[in-house]
Amino acid sequence: MSSTQMSKTADVSGETCTLHTDGIPPDTLIKVQRYLERFHLTREKLQEVSERLRKDLIRGLGKHSHHKAPVKMLPTFVRATPDGTEKGDFLALDLGGTNFRVLHVRVMEEQQRVLKMDSQICAIPKEMMQGTGEQLFDHIAACLYDFLLSHNLERETLPLGFTFSFPCEQKEIDKSILIRWTKGFNCSGVEGEDVVKLLKEAIRRRGDYDIGSVAMVNDTVGTMMSCGFRDQSCEIGMIIGTGTNACYMEEMKNVKRVEGEAGRMCINTEWGGFGDDGSLRDIQTEFDVVVDEMSINPGVHTFEKMISGMYLGEIVRLLLVRLTEDGLLFGGRTSKALLTPEAFETKFISEIEEQDNGLENTQKVLSKFGLKWDTVDSCVVRLVCDAISSRSARLCGAALATLANRIRVNRRQERLKTTVGVDGTVYKKHPNFSEELRATVRLLAPKCDITFLVSEDGSGKGAAMVTAVAQRLARQSRLLEESDGETDDEEEEEEEDQ
C-alpha cells in the first residue's frame, strides 16, 4: 500500500477500530483520533446498547407501558409470512414522499415469482403536501384511475396493498390511524384518522371504479414479505437508507395490545425512535446533538439520526468543519460550500470509502467544495468518513442482533436459522457497510445463523405479498369455518337419528 492510500481493515471482534492510516503524520493522526474515538464503540458498549433496546422492545409490546415507550412496537396484523402458495393479480400503492407509485403486480405460485407488470409514478405538488387531506386523497384516487384506465384494468376489482410510510397505529390489516405526518407533509384532517377509510372515500366520491380488499403495509414489512416469497425462512425486515426501521415476527402471546395468544404477528418496531428517552445520551457526540437540534423534529428519532442516510453526511460535514477550524484540515481554511448545512451528501461517504478509487473520489469531492487540499487532507477525510459509517453499521448490527436473539429466546431454540430481508441505499451502496453490520451481528448474536437477502421492490411487490397472504389466511379461515359447520350438521343429524 502506498503512503497516499488508506484502506479499512476493521477488527470484526468489535474491540477496536483498526485502520491503515498511512499518509497521515503521527502528530496530526493523534489529534484527529481524539475526535474520532468518540465514534468508536467497543464490544461492551455495543452489548449495552443491545440490552437497552431489548428492554425497550418489551416496554413497547406492553399493554400499559407502550404509550411511553420510545420504540413503539406497532402491531401490523400481518399474521404469517408467505408459504409459496400465494397467487393472483394485485394493485400496490406506495406513498412515502413527494412522489407516489401505482403498480400492477402478479404473484405466480408455479414459478414462485412476483412480477411487476406495470408501474406509474405520480408527483404530489408541494402545496398539496401542506393542503387538506381530502385534496391529497382525491389526487391519489385520480392518479389510480388514470393508471387503471391506461392499462385496461378499470373494470377489474383488484385487491390493493397500500404502503403508507408514515407513523401509524394499525388497528386491523385494513385500518391504520396516522399518528403524525413526517417528511414535509402536513395535510389537515388526516392525523388521528384511518387512512384506508380516507382512500376509499376518495374513490367513492369519483364513482367510476372500485377496488377490492385493502391491506395496509409498512415499507419495512413489505421488505420482509417480498423476500419471504423467495425464502420462506425470512422473518425479519430491515431498512437502512434515508431512514431506518425494522420489523420481525413476534409471538402473539407477547403482543399484549392485541387479543389472542395463538400464532405470531409481524411487529413494526419503529426502532428509529430508540433513544428518544435519553437512553443513548452516553454515546451521542456533540455533532449528533447539533444534527438533532437543527432537524425539523428535535428530540425525535434519536437512533435514526445517528445511523441513517439522511444524517450521516451532515455529521461528517460538521466534523470536517471542526477539524478545519482547529487547523487539522485544509490549512485551517473552510469554504462557503463546506459551511452550508446538509451540503455534504451521504453518497459522498460511499464514494470516498471505495477501495480502488476512494482517494481519487475524495479529491474530486473536496475540489467540488472549493477546498484547497493536499494528500494528507484526503487521507484524514477518508478516516473521518470511515469512523462515522463504521459507527452506523455497528449500531445497526447491534439492533439487528437484538431482534435475532429475541426470536431465538422466544422459540427456545439452541440455534436460530433465519433470513433478514433488507433494503435501503446505505446498505446497498456503501462499500463496507453490509460487511461491518454482519460482523457485528455475528459478534452479538453468536447463536444465530443469519442469511441476508436484498429486497426487490419491497414497497411494491411486498405490498402485493402482504395482500396475497391476507387473502390466503382469509380463504383458509373460511374453509375451516365451512368444515366446522359441516361437522356440526353431521353431529346434529346423528343426534336426530338416535
| Cell of residue 101, nine digits | 407509485
pLDDT at 341 over 80: yes
67-73-78-80 Cα dihedral, nearest 10 degrees: -140
pLDDT tens figures, 123-163: 999 899 999 999 999 999 999 999 999 999 999 999 999 99
Give the confidence band of 487 by pLDDT, cuts at 50, 70, 90.
low
pLDDT at 471 over 70: yes
- 219 as an active site residue: the answer is yes
Contact criterion met (CB below 8 Å) for 272 and 243: yes
Write the CATH number of the domain with boundaries 88-217+458-477. Answer: 3.30.420.40
pLDDT tens figures, 237-247: 999 998 999 99
What's the average model confidence in pLDDT over 326-351?
Answer: 97
pLDDT tens figures, 43-85: 999 999 999 999 999 999 999 999 999 999 999 999 999 988 8
CA distances from 218 to 155, 237, 473, 474 (A): 28, 10, 19, 20
Distance CA 156, CA 170 (A): 27
pLDDT at 7 over 50: no
pLDDT above 90 covers a percentage of the chain that reads 76
Per DSSP, 76 falls in state -
In 173-278 the beta strands, taken as DSSP E runs, fall at 175-178, 214-217, 234-240, 244-251, 264-268
Query: How many Å separate Cα 428 from the centre of its chain?
Result: 13
The helix (run of H) or strand (run of E) holding residue 93 is: strand 88-95
Q: Which of 219, 288, 292, 457 is catalytic?
A: 219
pLDDT tens figures, 362-409: 999 999 999 999 999 999 999 999 999 999 999 999 999 999 999 999
pLDDT at 2 over 50: no
Contact criterion met (CB below 8 Å) for 144 and 151: no
Q: What is the model's pLDDT at position 16?
A: 35
Q: What's the residue count for the chain?
A: 498
pLDDT at 489 over 90: no
The residue among 93, 334, 132 whose CA lies nearest residue 214 is: 93
Query: Average model confidence (pLDDT) for the chain?
Result: 90
pLDDT at 3 over 70: no
pLDDT at 113 over 90: no
Handedness of CA 282, 288, 294, 295 (dihedral sign): negative
Q: What is the model's pLDDT at position 141?
A: 97
Q: What is the model's pLDDT at position 84?
A: 83
What is the three-class DSSP state of 338? coil
Q: Which of 171, 183, 256, 428 is catalytic?
A: 183
Q: What is the model's pLDDT at position 475?
A: 84
pLDDT at 303 over 70: yes
List Cβ neighbours of 385 (8 Å cut-off, separation of 6 or more): 316, 348, 349, 352, 353
Q: Is 491 exposed, middle or buried (0-12, 13-18, 19+ CB in 10 A)?
A: exposed
Q: What is the model's pLDDT at position 9?
A: 39
Q: What is the model's pLDDT at position 427?
A: 96
Q: What is the model's pLDDT at position 182?
A: 80
pLDDT tens figures, 423-435: 999 999 999 999 9
pTM over 0.75: yes
pLDDT at 22 over 80: no
**Topology of 1-70+230-456 in CATH?**
Hexokinase; domain 1 (3.40.367)
Q: Which residues in the chain are classed under CATH 3.30.420.40?
A: 88-217+458-477
List Cβ neighbours of 164 (8 Å cut-off, separation of 6 or more): 95, 96, 176, 178, 195, 216, 217, 218
Choose between 443 and 96: higher pLDDT.
Answer: 443
Distance CA 188, CA 129 (A): 9
Q: What is the model's pLDDT at position 8?
A: 43
Q: Pairing state of beta strands 88-95 and 99-108?
A: antiparallel
pLDDT tens figures, 221-230: 999 998 998 8
pLDDT at 15 over 70: no
Per DSSP, 458 falls in state I
pLDDT at 1 over 50: no
What's the average model confidence in pLDDT over 457-469?
Answer: 86
Give the confidence band of 86 by pLDDT, cuts at 50, 70, 90.
confident
pLDDT at 342 over 90: yes
> Which range has the top average pLDDT, 218-222, 474-478, 483-487?
218-222
pLDDT at 488 over 70: no
Q: What is the model's pLDDT at position 14?
A: 40
What's the average model confidence in pLDDT over 287-304?
Answer: 94
